[in-house]
């Protein structure tokens, strides 16, 4: 059986939980900053990051790292269509904003305040702002009209921003409407990190 390791609050984990909603699998919720769960991470995944997927291949346990690689693995395993280059670019934009927000979130939780004058924070905020404006325009052009993997990833990004209050979404009306339009999907409500 497939085992997905992660936390209920990670946008990277949530996208895979939503994608796997109709696939038999076990979700193992880790408290990634607790000592016991960090030992599980260290034993199975040298990157010490979530998500990770465990599967049995030819009688041997195989662990796959990184949400994007896990998605490609699942696509291959279940003979799903591969992403086209436009969709790959959409994912790159989404992951870029996600990565910057995760880094700033971790620093904030480490009592390091985002200083506008520091190069690191300036670059991260520029990236997030630019990417969200681009994604807003893409939604306006109906590029996320289908509920496919990139759309799921976009939803998870927006919802995580809202959940953690990470960015001012004022003016990003298309992204907010996209979020509202998909908020009541059963797989979305079942994976809501607020529960």
**CATH number reported for the structural domain that contains residue 135 in this entry:** 1.20.1050.10
What is the pTM for the complete model shown? 0.95
Domain end marker among 77, 103, 129: 77
Structural domain for 115, as ranges: 85-187
pLDDT in tens, 151-176: 999 999 999 999 999 999 999 999 99
* pLDDT digits 0-9 by tens, 84-127: 999 999 999 999 999 999 999 999 888 888 777 889 999 999 99
* Residues 127 and 53 placed together within one structural domain of the fold: no
Which of 47, 77, 107 is the last residue in one of the domains? Answer: 77
> Look-up: residue for tokens 């979530």?
50
For residue 194, is it within any domain? no
Side-chain-side CA neighbours of 12 within 13 Å: the count stands at 21
142 three-class SS: coil
CATH number for 56: 3.40.30.10
Tokens of 141: 């052009």
Count structural domains, the chain: 2
């Amino acid at each position: 059986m497939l085992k997905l390791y992660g936390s209920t609050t990670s946008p990277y984990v949530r996208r895979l939980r939503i994608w796997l909603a109709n696939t038999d699998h076990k979700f193992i919720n880790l408290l990634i900053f607790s000592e016991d769960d960090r030992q599980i991470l260290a034993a199975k995944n040298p990157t010490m990051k979530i998500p990770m997927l465990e599967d049995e291949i030819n009688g041997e346990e195989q662990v796959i790292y990184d949400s994007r690689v896990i998605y490609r693995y699942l696509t291959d395993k279940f003979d799903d269509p591969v992403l086209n280059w436009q969709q790959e670019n959409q994912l790159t934009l989404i992951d870029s904003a996600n990565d910057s927000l995760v880094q700033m979130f971790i620093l904030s939780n480490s009592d390091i305040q985002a200083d506008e004058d520091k190069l690191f924070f300036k670059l991260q905020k520029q990236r997030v702002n630019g990417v969200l404006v681009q994604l807003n325009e893409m939604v306006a052009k109906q590029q996320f009209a289908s509920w496919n993997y990139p759309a799921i990833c976009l939803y998870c990004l927006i919802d995580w921003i809202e959940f953690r209050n990470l960015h001012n979404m004022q003016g990003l009306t298309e992204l907010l409407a996209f979020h509202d339009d998909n908020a009541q999907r059963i797989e979305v409500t079942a994976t809501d990190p607020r529960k």
